[in-house]
Amino acid sequence: MDLVLLGGRVLTMDDAAPRAEALAIRDGKIVAVGDSSHIAAMTAPGTEVVHLAGRSVIPGFIDPHTHFSTSAFEPIAVDCRIPPMRGKAQVLDAIAAAAAATPPGRWIWGYGYSGRRGENPSDLTRRELDRVAPNNPVCIFDSSMHCCYVNSAGMDVAGIGRDDPDPDGGEIRREDGDPTGTLWERAMNPAHETSMGGLIDALGDEATADLVQQTGMRYLACGITSTGDAAVTPAAARLYEIADRRGKLPILIHQLRSGDQFFAAPERAAHGEVGGDYTSDRIRAGTVKIFMDPVFPRLAGVQFHPDGRQEHLGRPYYTQEQADDLAMTAARNGLQVAIHCLGTWAIDQGLTAIERANAVSASPDLRHRIEHFSMGSRAQIERAAELGVLAVVQPSFLYAMGNVMNAARLDLGLDTANTPMRSMLDAGVNVVASSDFPCGPLEPMLGIHAIVSRHVRDVAEPVAPEEAVTAEEAIRAYTLAGARAMHREHEVGSLAVGKRADLVVLSNDPTAVEPRYIREIVVEQTYVDGKRLFDRYGRQVAVAAAGAGA
Ligand SMILES: [Zn+2]
């Protein structure tokens, strides 16, 4: 035996044997799950023994919707989040400091800005960015990732002309006809793709791979052993290939293939034409990402009036026919579709597109997904259950923005609460949890805390406590449900004999503590394929002699 873990509270997520005390691992796979005395008897000379001392073990977290490729550059990008930054002036100072230390001509990236928060909330302007970074192209992403702010050099390098017309589904914001530097939605596409490619070129393959490895370590520190990148463009695909070929991808990436640019229509992907992109044991594919609605200027929503009238607001990226066409094309080619739907109108279109895709799918079990399902009505929850849709929701948003989102729902007259996990599970929806990091906090334990306790950041009282789920249900949404969303439940998602030994050691058992203290539970160790890749305390674990450790 290579490794045994003894004396713990193991939550397996395996219905056949949901609880255990110990695990045995050989060649990266789980070979036994059971009580400590039984597993201790399997140790031999050279077996590593981890004494859990009552700690909890769960399957490695699976986060099927993050933006790993974007966050990979965070270590060399400017942190523009408000809070903790106070406002625009402080953000501009930070960009100026970065510019002073960056070779001329190299892209400067920033992340997390919001023109709607902090002191004197307003967008970063092209001229402000020109002033603080006169010699570099600059691209600062909005916290929503649906908009960015560029300087003049950024526009030039990305090939965005001052007089270019707005793309369909995007806007080059202007004042008196002059671009302000704010690029909404598809107008952001060239800046995102060109700058990511430019950063990879400037860094070179070795440093790029190192960044990916660091980012993987950051995920492992949260207990995440697999993630889905929810918009893989050609530049992102290149990033993954570079890292994997150098053995610097510590977690598994499932690619949700978007168009040739971030928000572009995934036409080639739906036809399976980019299915031949580099894949490996660590890099998976098979999913097509469709963005159904924007954030700017607003979601494609529905206002439910008290007299029963329904008013459509905003505009989806696609007509119903266009969306059906993309989804059906992908399904005919045996590809799963994952449709980003924030507003109620977008969810309607997404459900219809999936219904039509189901009818023509090359295989009956493609498991089409709606990403976010943020502003769903009761009727839509029931329809999602009927269609067998996977709803990939963000407990992280509930935690970070629970009060804001609840107010928005009330304004729209929606008949559901924010992140209605209880209602969705009770209706029979396949609910999957994710972070959408960097749009929400990465830590699954924060999401589990939010959907179990309904206690969220900056709010004293729990938000819609009737929507609480059990800790067991929450962990399942972050593990086995995520594995199903990636078609990987045969290899990960629960702790059962024969599966990969991807697992997390938690300081306490989330099912045993008072729910509002779940967020204080710490990820202590994370294992991938039986290897301990993260250890919070860096401690040396004794290698037991034969028979020891019982
Ligand atoms: Zn996303």
Q: How many CB atoms lie within 10 A of CB 221?
A: 16
Same domain membership, residue 398 and residue 304 = yes
More confident residue, 123 or 274: 123
How far apart are the CA of 419 and the centre of ligand 1, in A? 16
> Is the domain of 330 the same as that of 382?
yes
Please confirm whether the linkage preceding 441 is cis (ω < 30° from 0).
no
The 3-state DSSP class for residue 60 equals coil
pLDDT at 543 over 70: no
CA 437 to ligand 1 center in whole angstroms: 7
CA of 460 to the centre of ligand 1 (A): 28
Measure 52 CA to ligand 1 centroid, in angstroms: 36
User: In sequence order, what DSSP letters do the residues of 356-372 get, joined into one string?
Assistant: HHHHH-SSTT---EEEE
Per-residue confidence (pLDDT) for residue 405, from 0 to 100: 85
Compute, in angstroms, the gap from residue 438 CA to the centroid of ligand 1.
8
Residue 176 Cα, ligand 1 centroid: separation in angstroms?
A: 33
> Taking 90 as the threshold, does the pLDDT of residue 545 lie above it?
no
Count structural domains, the chain.
3
Lowest mean pLDDT among 268-277, 404-413, 420-429, 453-462: 268-277
Instruction: Please give the average per-residue pLDDT across 195-220, as a whole number.
Output: 98
Indicate the pLDDT class of residue 539, thresholds 50, 70 and 90: low
Q: Is residue 201, in this structure, part of any structural domain at all?
A: no
Burial of 79 (0-12, 13-18, 19+ CB in 10 A): middle
Domain match, 253 and 164 both: no
pLDDT computed for residue 276 by the predictor: 57
Spacing, Cα 36 to ligand 1 middle (Å): 41
User: Quick one: 139 and 94 in the same domain?
Assistant: yes
- Give tens-digit pLDDT for 439-498: 999 999 999 999 999 999 988 999 999 999 999 999 999 999 999 999 999 999 999 999
For residues 329 and 271, is the Cβ–Cβ distance under 8 A?
Answer: yes
Give the domain CATH number at 159.
Answer: 3.10.310.70
Q: Do residues 165 and 217 both lie within one domain?
A: no
Compute, in angstroms, the gap from residue 372 CA to the centroid of ligand 1.
8
Helix axis angle, 395-412 to 444-453, nearest 10°: 50
Averaged over 146-151, what is the pLDDT?
98
Q: Could you tell me the distance, in angstroms and rounded to a whole number, from the CA of residue 69 to the centre of ligand 1?
A: 11
Any domain includes 521: yes
Gap from CA of 39 to ligand 1 centroid (Å)? 41
Ligand 1 mean position, distance from CA 309 (Å):
31
Q: Give the count of alpha carbons within 13 A of 280, CB side only.
A: 17
User: How far is the centre of ligand 1, averaged over its atoms, from the C-alpha of 1 (Å)?
Assistant: 40
> Does residue 12 sit in the same domain as residue 118?
no
Out of 457, 485, 513, a domain closes at: 485
Three-state helix/strand/coil letters over 133-192: CCCCCEEEEECCCCEEEECHHHHHHHCCCCCCCCCCCEEEEEECCEEEEEEEEHHHHHHH
308 and 402 both lie in a single domain: yes
Judgement on whether residues 386 and 320 belong to the same structural domain of the protein: yes
pLDDT of residue 541: 46
In this prediction, residue 243 carries a pLDDT of: 97
Distance, CA of 504 to CA of 360 (rounded, Å): 39
Distance from the CA of 110 to the center of ligand 1, in angstroms? 17
Q: Contact, 328 vs 360, CB < 8 A?
A: yes
The length of the chain is 550
CA of 435 to the centre of ligand 1 (A): 8
Q: What is the mean pLDDT of residues 7-27?
A: 98
For residue 492, tell me if it sits in a domain.
Answer: no
- Ligand 1 midpoint to CA 307 (Å): 35
Distance from the alpha carbon of residue 73 to the mean position of ligand 1, in angstroms: 16
Question: φ and ψ at 86, to 5 degrees?
Answer: -80, -30
> Is 9 in contact with 19 (CB distance < 8 Å)?
yes
φ/ψ bin of 29: left (φ > 0), alpha (ψ from -120 to 50), beta (otherwise): beta
Indicate which CATH number applies to the domain containing 27. Answer: 2.30.40.10
pLDDT per position as a tens digit, 356-371 = 999 999 899 999 999 9
Ligand 1 centroid–CA 144 distance in Å is 9
pLDDT of amino acid 15: 97
Cα(393) to centroid(ligand 1), Å = 10
Q: How much distance in Å is there from the Cα of 33 to the middle of ligand 1?
A: 36
Residue 542 has pLDDT above 80, yes or no: no
Question: pTM, whole model, 2 decimals?
Answer: 0.96
343 CA to centre of ligand 1 in angstroms: 14
Distance 17 CA to ligand 1 centre (A): 34
Query: How many whole angstroms from 292 Cα to the centroid of ligand 1?
Result: 12
Residue-wise pLDDT tens digits, 323-356:
999 999 999 999 999 999 999 999 999 999 999 9
- Residue 250 CA to residue 271 CA, distance in Å, equals 30
Residue 33 domain-assigned (yes or no)? yes
Q: Is 400 in contact with 31 (CB distance < 8 Å)?
A: no
Residue 293 belongs to domain spanning:
207-485
pLDDT at residue number 548: 39
Confidence class for position 402, pLDDT limits 50, 70, 90: confident
CA of 502 to the centre of ligand 1 (A): 24
Same domain, yes or no: 51 and 148: no
Question: Both tokens of residue 133?
Answer: 């970074």
Lowest mean pLDDT, pick from 395-404, 425-434, 443-452: 395-404
Q: Are residues 361 and 236 in the same domain?
A: yes
pLDDT of residue 64: 98
Query: Do the domain assignments include residue 546?
Result: no
Do the beta carbons of residue 533 and residue 527 sit within 8 Å? yes
Q: Answer yes or no: is 516 within a domain.
A: yes
Token couple for 150: 């560029």
- What pLDDT was estimated at residue 220? 98
State the pLDDT at residue 403.
81
Last residue of a domain, one of 194, 229, 253: 194
Taking the CB of residue 282, how many other CB atoms lie within 10 A of it? Answer: 18
Ligand 1 centre distance from Cα of residue 150 (Å): 21
Contact by Cβ (8 Å): 515, 52: no
- DSSP class of 123: P
Do 477 and 514 belong together in one domain? no
Structure tokens at 22: 């110990």
User: Torsion over CA of 192, 195, 200 and 204, rounded to 10 degrees?
Assistant: 180
Query: Domain holding 274: CATH number?
Result: 3.20.20.140
Res. 212 pLDDT band, cuts 50 70 90: very high
Q: Which residue has the higher pLDDT, 49 or 544?
A: 49
Q: What is the mean pLDDT of residues 88-92?
A: 97
pLDDT mean across residues, the chain: 95
Residue 277 has what pLDDT? 74
Residue 67 alpha carbon to ligand 1 centre in Å: 6
Residue 66 CA to ligand 1 center (angstroms) comes to 6
| Distance of CA 230 from the midpoint of ligand 1 (Å) | 6
Ligand 1 centroid to Cα of residue 264, in Å, is 14
User: What is the whole-number distance in angstroms between the Cα of residue 11 and the centre of ligand 1?
Assistant: 29
| CA of 245 relative to ligand 1 center, distance in Å | 26
- Look at residue 340 in the predicted model and tell me its pLDDT: 98
432 Cα to the center of ligand 1, angstroms: 14
Do 460 and 376 share a structural domain?
Answer: yes
332-353: burial string, b at 16+ Cβ within 10 Å, e else: ebebbbbbbbbbbbbbbbbbbb
Between the CA of 386 and the centroid of ligand 1 the distance, in Å, is: 25
